Amino acid sequence: MSMLNDIFIAPFTEFEFMRRALAGALALALGAGPIGVFLMLRRMSLVGDAMAHAILPGAAVGFLLSGLNLFAMTAGGLIAGFVVAVLTGLVARTTELKEDAALATFYLLSLAVGVTIISLKGTNIDLLHVLFGNVLALDDQTLLLIAANATITLIVLALIYRPLVIECVDPGFMRTVSSAGGPAHLAFLVLVVVNLVSGFHALGTLLAVGIMMLPAAIGRFWARDTTLMILIATASGAVASYAGLLVSFHFGVASGPAIILIAGVLYLSSLLFGRVGGLVRQAFPGRHLEA
Amino acid sequence: MLTRRQALAATALAALFVAPGARAQDRLNVIASFSILGDFVKNVGGDRVEVATLVGPNGNAHVYAPSPGDAKKVADAKLVFVNGLGFEGWLERLVKASGTKAPVVVATKGIKPLERAGEHDHDHDHDHGRADPHAWQSVANAKIYVANIRDALIAADPAGKDAYSANAAAYLAKLDALERDVREVIAKIPADRRRVITSHSAFGYFQDAYGVNFTAPQGVSTEAEASAKDVAAIIAQIRKQKVAAVFLENVTDPRLVEQVARETGAKVGGTLYSDALTDDKGDATTYVDLMRHNLRQLASALVS
């Protein structure tokens, strides 16, 4: 009993930084899970990645202007993300260019602008260290920011849930019954940006995408129903966070990658054994139960 | 008709040939790889020497990425001063790429290298790749840097021998005074309070020379990310050994250090400068200022 306690519970009771890391990662998983599922259902799985690149320069510029300041880096990231999201939406809706192409152009421009500003400024402070946030060093401010972002995400998602789901399933039908599709889509993109920004404080920009997309893909292999898919995604994000922190604690590997790798292990086993379209399931379909 | 490949080749060639010929000064052009070394060279060279540094103030020489402008600076130089001991891993390629014929002077020549922090006691067959490069953190070593720089400058510019010797002697006297002050201040700190945590283990030589114990949550290079295990070990160590203070530095992520301090109640000292001078607005614009600043920070956190 005491050994189990040492392995699974003591790290968190003994060390405050582990409790903070767990709280931060769980809050992150709570918001990122549903966002990831909708991204996946809308065939926008790579949008998270592109958006992360769009945010990175904004955060870097915020850092250069006022140092390691949570507010400046968050504001910079949000501004860069929103600008790219809105411009992408505008171009996709008013010109021949499709959304993916529009996003590609704007995130690349954003990245180039950011790198240029950093190089003009001429400092050589280790930006990667700053931009890859550290889940082990969450202070009160950062924790509150992550929790607030998760709360906002869940509330807004509850409000736009119906139009969002219908647009995922049948956009043509959505257009005939309601004009809420456009605004819901825009609100959703804003949520994507908000969650990525909160993710880069905890895990760093690139891994923030991981905690969004891997749980969503896991959910896809276990459920057909959107609600269940979201629940499974969120739960597996939470499990990955907890297990990843434990692995980092016991085996001395970096925490952010550990969390994502655990999610990766969950994904691979879902890919193999998932109830919905898992590879083993496909090879041995079992008996058909329908009459 | 110019093909694209020809155009590219022409541009590259032009870039190569623009480099020399642009300067018409009789001062000796030299390069120092980073700001602290540059300060030493300035002090010894005085106004006979024009010093350019590659990694400027506040920069991190461990992960520096040289720019084409740096290659041009190196190509123009008569002497290239480097720290050595594996500090500037990127420099060898830069020197080669620039095609310079300037001799490369290793300023740490003659210094007895310490092993990197955290690897004491294992094996003493010296593996040179594992030496701690931050030798300037002991003033006695700084004096060796100065002597090496003086000799190299005299060899490159024999006409300035008297000036270089005089400058070096004056600067060495300053360093002697600095060394006395360091020892005096440290002597006032009770022996059981001379334990300090910093986020970057650059103070091995300071520890060795002056008896203040430094521990870091990260290895000697700033590239490795600390794991939960490392952080927990540091916290446990602070609690057990009653470490008195935690310090931040100007080159690595301070958030981690703040978290450790929050959790243990150890005092958070100000910034200890390790690898780089600050720019003109900072309070460590020269090596002597840097050492005095660190000393003040240590004293104010540890005495009390």
Each residue's pLDDT tens digit, A67-93: 767 788 889 889 999 999 888 888 887
Residues of B in contact with A127 (CB under 8 A): none
Check: CB of residue B268 under 8 Å from CB of residue B246.
Answer: yes
The answer to whether the CB atoms of B60 and A15 lie below 8 A apart is: no
Check: CB of residue A85 under 8 Å from CB of residue A229.
Answer: no
pLDDT at res. A288: 63
Task: Give the residue-averaged pLDDT of B91-106.
Answer: 86
pLDDT at res. B48: 93
What is the C-alpha separation between B108 and B101, in angstroms, rounded? 21
Residues of B in contact with A19 (CB under 8 A): none
Q: Would you say residue B225 has pLDDT above 70?
A: no
What is the C-alpha separation between A31 and B247, in angstroms, rounded? 35
Residue B260 tokens, joined:
């450790």
Q: How confident is the model at residue B220 (pLDDT cuts 50, 70, 90)?
A: very low
What is the C-alpha separation between B266 and B261, in angstroms, rounded? 5
The answer to whether the CB atoms of B225 and A134 lie below 8 A apart is: yes
Q: What is the pTM of this model?
A: 0.68
What average pLDDT is seen over chain B? 81
> How far A49 CA sits from the closest chain B CA (Å)?
22
Nearest residue on chain B to A202, alpha-carbon basis: B255
Mutation choice for B interface testing from A64, A68, A129, A131 by most B CBs within 10 A: A129
The answer to whether the CB atoms of B229 and A15 lie below 8 A apart is: no
Mutation choice for A interface testing from B229, B249, B252 by most A CBs within 10 A: B229
Q: Tell which B residues from 126 to 165 touch A, by Cβ distance under 8 Å.
A: none
Min mean pLDDT across A150-154, A230-234, B102-106, B189-193 is at B189-193
Identify which of A40-49, A203-212, B147-156 has the greatest average pLDDT. Answer: B147-156
Going by DSSP bridges, is the β-strand pair B245-249/B267-272 parallel, antiparallel, or unpaired? Answer: parallel
Task: Give the residue-averaged pLDDT of B177-200.
Answer: 87
pLDDT at res. A40: 93
Min mean pLDDT across A119-128, B134-143, B248-257, B275-284 is at A119-128
Task: Give the residue-averaged pLDDT of B150-169.
Answer: 94
User: H/E/C letters for each residue in chain B?
Assistant: CCCHHHHHHHHHHHHHHHCCCCCCCCCEEEEEEEHHHHHHHHHHHHHHEEEEEEECCCCCHHHCCCCHHHHHHHHHCCEEEECCCCCCCCHHHHHHHHCCCCCEEECCCCCCCCECCCCCCCCCCCCHHHECCCHHHCHHHHHHHHHHHHHHHHHHCHHHHHHHHHHHHHHHHHHHHHHHHHHHHHHHCCHHHCEEEECCCCCHHHHHHHCCEEECCCCCCCCCCCEHHHHHHHHHHHHHHCCCEEEEECCCCHHHHHHHHHHHCCEEEEEECCCCCCCCCCCCCCHHHHHHHHHHHHHHHHCC
Write the DSSP symbol of residue A264. Answer: H
Task: Give the residue-averaged pLDDT of A52-72.
Answer: 81
pLDDT at res. B141: 95
Q: How confident is the model at residue B62 (pLDDT cuts 50, 70, 90)?
A: confident
Residues of B in contact with A245 (CB under 8 A): 228
The answer to whether the CB atoms of A11 and B235 lie below 8 A apart is: no
> How far B59 CA sits from the closest chain A CA (Å)?
5
Check: CB of residue A29 under 8 Å from CB of residue A211.
Answer: yes
Q: Would you say residue B203 has pLDDT above 70?
A: yes
Residues of B in contact with A125 (CB under 8 A): 58-60, 251
> How far A124 CA sits from the closest chain B CA (Å)?
5
Task: Give the residue-averaged pLDDT of B191-210.
Answer: 84
Torsion sign, CA atoms B292, B293, B298, B301: positive
The answer to whether the CB atoms of A18 and B235 lie below 8 A apart is: no
The answer to whether the CB atoms of B228 and A124 lie below 8 A apart is: no
What is the C-alpha separation between A199 and A210, in angstroms, rounded? 10
Task: Report the residue from A68, A245, A255 with minimal CB separation from B255.
Answer: A68
pLDDT at res. B222: 45
Q: How confident is the model at residue B25 (pLDDT cuts 50, 70, 90)?
A: low
Identify which of A110-124, A223-237, B249-263, B266-280 has the greatest average pLDDT. Answer: A223-237
The rounded percent of chain B whose pLDDT value lies above 90 is: 37
The answer to whether the CB atoms of A21 and B228 lie below 8 A apart is: yes
The answer to whether the CB atoms of B256 and A134 lie below 8 A apart is: yes
Cα angle: B32, vertex B37, B41; to 5 degrees: 75
Name the residue with tokens 């809420």. A180
Name the residue with tokens 């991204």. A39
Residues of A in contact with B263 (CB under 8 A): 15-17
Q: How confident is the model at residue A152 (pLDDT cuts 50, 70, 90)?
A: very high
Min mean pLDDT across A180-184, A214-218, A284-288, B262-266 is at A284-288
Residues of A in contact with B254 (CB under 8 A): 68
What is the C-alpha separation between B49 and A259, in angstroms, rounded? 53
Nearest residue on chain B to A245, alpha-carbon basis: B228
Residues of A in contact with B199 (CB under 8 A): none
The answer to whether the CB atoms of B235 and A139 lie below 8 A apart is: no
The answer to whether the CB atoms of A249 and B229 lie below 8 A apart is: yes
> How far A78 CA sits from the closest chain B CA (Å)?
21
Nearest residue on chain A to B57, alpha-carbon basis: A123
Task: Give the residue-averaged pLDDT of A178-187.
Answer: 81
pLDDT at res. B23: 43
Tell me, yes or no, if B230 comes closer than 8 A to chain A by beta carbon. yes
Q: Would you say residue B123 has pLDDT above 50?
A: no
Task: Report the residue from A18, A126, A255 with minimal CB separation from B63.
Answer: A126
What is the C-alpha separation between B213 and B204, in angstroms, rounded? 9
The answer to whether the CB atoms of B255 and A134 lie below 8 A apart is: yes
Task: Give the residue-averaged pLDDT of B291-301.
Answer: 90
pLDDT at res. B256: 77
Residues of A in contact with B264 (CB under 8 A): none
Nearest residue on chain A to B225, alpha-carbon basis: A254
The answer to whether the CB atoms of A248 and B64 lie below 8 A apart is: no
Q: What is the CA radius of gyration of chain A?
A: 20
